Chains A and B, each alone.
Chain A
Amino acid sequence: MTDMGSRKTLLSIEGLTLHYGAAQALFGIDLTVAEGETVAIVGANGAGKSSLLKAIIGLVPPSGGRILLEGRDVTGQSTSSMASLGVTLSPEGREMFGDLSVRENLILGALASTPGKAELGRRLDEVFGRFPKLRERSLQHTATLSGGEQQMVAIGRALMARPRLLLLDEPSLGLAPLVTDEIFDIIHRLARAGTTILLVEQNAARALTASTTAYLLANGRIIRSGKSEALLVHPELRRAFLGAASRDNPAQSRLGAAGLTNVRLEKPDMSALTFMPPFTSEDELRAHQLTGLRWTVRHAREGSPFYRARLDAAGVGPEDIRSLEDIGKLPLTTADDLRDDYPFPLRSVPYEQIVRIHSSSGTTGKRKILCYTQKDLDDWAHIFARCYEMAGVTPLDRVQIAVGYGLWTAGVGFQAGCERVGAMAVPTGPGNLDLQCEFLVDLQSTVYCCTASMGLLLAEEVHKRGLAEKINLKKVIYGSERSSRSMRKRISDLLGGAELFDIPGLTELYGPGTGIECPHHDCIHYWADYYLLEILDPDTLQPVPPGEWGEMVVTTLAKEAAPLIRYRTRDITRIIPGPCTCGSILPRHSRIKGRTDDVFKFRGVNIYPSTIDAVLSAIPGLGSEYQIHLTRDDEQRDHLRLVVERGAGVEPKRGEELQREIVHMIKHKVMVTVEVEMAEYDSLPRSERKTMRVFDSRIQDSII
């Protein structure tokens, strides 16, 4: 290549500024293009590249500075006079005259230089020579050409005027990689033939390999200029334009590899180990249930003085149970019965058969202690393994168990089930977010077990530390706390799209693991071969019509140490009748709506927190955390103040409209007027165990 110094300067730009109305697009641009050179202007979208070309070609008048063509001042000249001076443009987006043919478009390109017929024919031949594809399509309307062909027409059209300076605006825009190769090949050839080219491109690599000198444009200013070869390897350029994607990004390896880490573990073959019950029809299940019920009634009566007294008082014995419907004859038991018989309530076996006790956390009254025989523990591990199986957990999974161990049923329950199904248990327990995150990354845990609140806490921590791409969580199994739709979605999103499974259970009924959310996520399947579920109206204690909401009342079918007979759980749910789309024949209930003692009364209306969070979940722009504050003022009027977090990244001024929307929707759905206070995202407390959301400071009606 000839020495740059000996070349004449063709184009020179000095201190160019450009305004669009009040907005300034260029801030003093200085640039030179020598004859026969290819100069590239590289910049991101919005940097001002197109504005610069438009100023040169006369489409937009500059507001300051000078443009000199071979020493002559051409600033602000019209486009047509620039064309007659030999400066042509192949515009961004190609700008075809769609209704005209390829040939007609090309001929229009020569308009400014008014060649004779023969000369025109020669030029056309030359362009067709460069672009043989266009020759085939010379009579076709350009609107029907593909993007690459249109780009060729655009460049060809600019060449028809035999320009001294060819301006190319983003020639690779919207073209397939191989077509771009073709286009740039043509540009190379033009350069070799001596055409002076000013090339504007976003694709820095292409532009730099095609040019000798380059200018980097950002926010309307030239931030760097120099020889293209030098700039290609310059670190500032790489940082500015090639971005993080080209550096060692862990995610890249995932894409390049054979997709091992993206494999979704399928449910195991039925011929392999399964924990599902062998029943194939409802009748078989019912027969099994009847056997279990009769056994339980006899076992409880024989082993527990408490049950004997109760059954006798109700005048019912094992011989009275002849069908499942006879369950209605049995007496009900409640949590008070457990407390009254502390420390070994409902015990129906001799002490030497009891191998473990567990205790509830005792948030409402005295602790409940439940005892287990070895068979109870085995049964529990079996049904818990069934939960994992339904959630699609296999021996290849790594299950990080972030729930409480010790007296609490959760930790050991999750672990026993995990080992039974053959997966790897990582028993971190709750809290200690540093450890949690460390293990998630280092051990690549695939399943996370927690309470909903802990799930949210962890998900937010993962998000804060930017770990979503580094972890491998596929599923979250959470329980012992009710959660709203928006909370679930938030947890799932922050953890990179993990699947959530709600797992029900209570200490009295073994612990968590009495059922699990269906893989189709529309219901919870429960293990009807281990307990019977009745849904009763909490006031009348009569069964509700199938499918309606009511209190869960459970009766165990195989539990030895502390069997349950019609135990009122105070959880509200409903049976979902009909077969499930996932194919399991096990019956199902809905996610727990709340507890009977969750309900609070406000201005004569019974309200469940779950109703409130269903309303909040439907409003776009809110976070998933909220608090309900119930107060009473001096005039004995009740007030409900709802404190709601805005969504992450939502500015305060949108908060006003959100507030109004919340008030309106609650009035509409719950029929009460509440005060709403918006809070900053992440400002409400999150707990590792269960989050308390309802704060009732009104004086309860009490007889002192």
Chain B
Amino acid sequence: MATAVSEQTLLTTSGLTKHFGGLPALHEVGFAAERGKVTALIGPNGAGKTTFINCLTGILRPDKGSMVFDGHALAGLAPHQIARLGIARTFQNLRLFAGLSVLDNVLCGLSAKAGDSFLEAFIRTPSLRHRERRLWLTALEALDTFGLSARADCPAGSLSYGEKKRLDLARAFVSGPTLVLLDEPVAGLNPDETERVGALIRQLRRGGATLILVEHDMDLVMSVSDHVVVLDGGRRIAAGSPEDIRRNPLVLEAYLGKISLTA
């Protein structure tokens, strides 16, 4: 399937392939995400969604294919280089810095802006102090947005699951990235919390963020996405608007057909 590329396309992949041993986790996957829009990536468990995200963020090296972000080729870049290009992500399994405080976790999200110089850090120059203060204020504002201000000094490990999910989001968004990859942001949340995260996603989208959303919660996907891409068994089987995908027979078969219930 051809992927339409326009001036408004922020991220594209073409022919992306990744094998684990003999098993194809991704096979010739083409994908496009438009600026300022939410593109959802759905598919049954094991379809290759997390593998896809890991290829985009440099954790895995694809065997074949290209990934281009805002004119930059992503293949071969290390994860931290990709982050510094303006791509942020959340993790399916959170990966919070449990021993650090909530505020420090969010400040880590600003690592790219915090400066690299050891010397400057040791001497604590006035410019570093000013930068730290600005980062502190920015991090606090992010905590406000994600409703975590009251827990700013608590260790991240002591938060409830819903708060942890929001912290993961805050950490990804605080640096104002160009593209954010959300890996199952509402998994394990109750309906109230899911709605809260959904509202946050809509708010971020209105602010002009470009999002790629990997999710199982169909209500959320349908309510926030502009475009949906469906993977199954490592292959792209459908792409289109949420309404189209909801009615697409291939998609329905992928979710229902393969599972055989024992008598």
Contacts and interface: CB of A to CB of B under 8 A. Distances in A.
A698 interface: no
A170 B188 contact: yes
Interface of A: 23, 44-46, 93, 129-130, 132, 144-149, 170, 173-179, 182, 185, 202-204, 241-246, 255, 258-259, 492-493, 496-497, 619-621, 647, 649-651, 654, 657-658, 660-661, 664
A259 B92 CA distance: 30
A241 B207 CA distance: 31
B: contact size bracket: 35 or more
B46 A146 contact: yes
A439 to B, nearest CB: 23
Interface of B: 20, 44-46, 92-93, 130, 133-134, 136-138, 140-141, 144, 149, 158-163, 184, 187-195, 202-203, 206-207, 216, 218-219, 222-223, 243, 255-256, 259-262
Contacts of B195: 243-245
12 contacts: A23-B158, A44-B160, A45-B160, A146-B46, A148-B46, A175-B45, A177-B218, A245-B192, A245-B194, A259-B243, A493-B203, A620-B138
A174 B255 contact: no
Contacts of B46: 145-146, 148-149
A175 B216 contact: yes
Given A145-B46, A241-B190, A647-B141, A179 B260 contact: no
B216 A176 contact: yes
A444 B263 CA distance: 54
Contacts, number: 117
A245 B45 contact: no
A497 B137 contact: no
Given A621-B141, A649-B149, A650-B140, 15 more contacts: A93-B93, A129-B262, A174-B92, A174-B188, A175-B216, A176-B255, A203-B190, A255-B219, A255-B222, A492-B206, A497-B206, A620-B140, A621-B144, A657-B136, A660-B133
A684 B134 CA distance: 25
A146 B232 CA distance: 12
Interface SS of chain B: helix, strand, loop or mixed?
helix
Nearest to B195: A245
A20 to B, nearest CB: 8
Looking at A45, A93, A130, A658, which has the most chain B CB atoms within 10 Å of its CB? A45
Contacts of B163: 45-46
A177 B138 CA distance: 37
B175 to A, nearest CB: 12
B73 to A, nearest CB: 25
A619 B137 contact: yes
A604 to B, nearest CB: 25
A667 to B, nearest CB: 11
A613 B20 CA distance: 55
A225 to B, nearest CB: 19
Contacts of B160: 44-46
A45 B149 contact: no
Contacts of B190: 44-45, 202-204, 241, 243
Nearest 4 pairs of A and B residues by beta carbon: A46-B160, A497-B206, A146-B46, A146-B45
A132 B256 contact: no
B133 A178 contact: no
A93 B219 CA distance: 23
Nearest to B242: A259
B159 to A, nearest CB: 8
Contacts of B218: 177
A664 B126 CA distance: 11
A132 B130 CA distance: 60
Nearest to B215: A176
B141 A149 contact: no
A179 B259 contact: yes
Contacts of B134: 619, 661
Contacts of A242: 191
Contacts of B260: 132
A149 B149 contact: no
A185 B45 CA distance: 17
B223 A255 contact: yes
A129 to B, nearest CB: 7
